Amino acid sequence: MEIKNPTFQITLLWQSLFFLSFDLRILLPCPQFTLFSNLMSTASSPSWRTEPLSVGDILRGSSGRSYNIEEILRHRERPLPCVYRASAQGDTYIIKDVQQGDFDYQQELQKPLSAAPNVRTLVDTISDRELLVYPFLTGHLLCFMQKPVSYDLRKSILRSALTGLAELHDRNIIHTDIKPDNILVDYDETANQELQVRSVQIGDLESAALLPQNAVIAGVITGNQIWRSPEDWTRAKQDTASDIYSFGIVAIFVVLEKMVFCPRDEAPGLYGLLMHLGEENEYVERLGALVPEVKPRKPFALWEPVDPEFRDLILKMTNLDPAKRITAREALKHPWFREARAKDPGGLSWRRIKDYVASKLRSYM
């Protein structure tokens, strides 16, 4: 959901700029770029597109499998897509519908990625209702990180997710909505809470776009406000570098357990109310004006204690100049992604942390 309040959006943009740079004298890109997007059909919707499926419905896929709808995971008024959990021949699947006009486009976009192990792509379609069928994975990264996850496993998950993102970017596909919710984790949890991860995949390709050579997306805001890049906030030109910025913010969340741009840190009740009311409510704009201005956060380059190699990786992924950001393939070769060493979740040995704290204490004596 987007809160259509200029003050609210400018506050988060200011935070993202200051967080990653000492010098805020930035020439914001001119927004007059060609907008590349998949234009959806404006034809009137058939009746089946206006009514969600019900639990117990049976649908036949192009593969010949019959899917039994067992749960409505996301129920939204059409034409907004709904999400369902279904079963077929003893296996579990996720079924999604798409915006009108995107059914064929999504199949063409995802087909070249079908062999990529770190990207969740469709395994079947239900053509008469324009539904996409995906394999079911246990959960997503946002929930998974609430569990006791070791430092090595965090790094392994990020490496796998970044590999999936690289597969997209190799084909000039921009995801546009990189966030922990869209990094899927298939895992088992033993009785003594040990986590055994089977696979990690980039999911939710429904908002992805295949960019022709030298084309960009511009003039629109995409993705989620907590993980969005500065150029996205300003509706300037976006390409795969915008995904890299978002991935860097996700990596901070995974390794340091910090949501850098989470507005709830400043005004939990008011922000929660705005999200609850929804963008169409007439009082949202008035309430948004009450949101307090927040002090800029300390640049990530000054955060302590942080593993120097991890710091270097994040700074290269979140360079304010999109053209200077590291690519997904380059990031995978970064020293931080080498074989994990025994470290604490913050990325430093306890001895080094104690030394750091001791030095800080001495500075106040």
Nearest Cα neighbor of 116 from 44, 200, 56 is 200
Would you state the pLDDT for residue 28? 32
Would you state the pLDDT for residue 75? 78
**Residues 288, 263: Cα–Cα separation, whole Å:** 12
| CATH of the domain spanning 47-135, picked from 3.40.630.10, 3.40.190.10, 3.30.200.20, 3.10.20.30 | 3.30.200.20
Give the three-class secondary structure for 161.
helix
Residue 291, both tokens: 């949101």
Q: Do 47-135 and 6-30+139-360 have the same topology in CATH?
A: no
Side-chain-side CA neighbours of 360 within 13 Å: the count stands at: 8
**Residues 35, 220: Cα–Cα separation, whole Å:** 8
Would you state the pLDDT for residue 300? 76
Would you state the pLDDT for residue 298? 72
**Residues 190, 74: Cα–Cα separation, whole Å:** 29
Exposed, middle or buried: residue 22 (CB in 10 Å: 0-12, 13-18, 19+)? exposed
Please give the span between the terminal C-alpha atoms of the chain, in angstroms, as a whole number.
49
**Strand ranges (E), 117-207:** 124-126, 131-135, 139-140, 173-174, 183-189, 195-202
- Taking 70 as the pLDDT cut, the residues of the chain under it are 1-51, 76-80, 262-297, 339-365
Would you state the pLDDT for residue 271? 58
Would you state the pLDDT for residue 199? 94
Would you state the pLDDT for residue 348? 39
pLDDT tens column, 68-103: 999 999 876 655 678 999 999 999 999 998 888 899
Domain extent listing, the chain: 6-30+139-360, 47-135
* Domain covering 6-30+139-360 in this structure, CATH number: 1.10.510.10
Residue 214, both tokens: 């030298």
Query: Are 18 and 296 within 8 A, CB to CB?
Result: yes
| Amino acid at the residue 85 | R
Would you state the pLDDT for residue 81? 77
Query: Are 233 and 13 within 8 A, CB to CB?
Result: yes
Would you state the pLDDT for residue 259? 80
Q: What is the length of the chain?
A: 365
**For residue 241, is it left (φ>0), alpha (ψ between -120 and 50) or beta?**
alpha
**Residues 35, 263: Cα–Cα separation, whole Å:** 29
Would you state the pLDDT for residue 293? 52
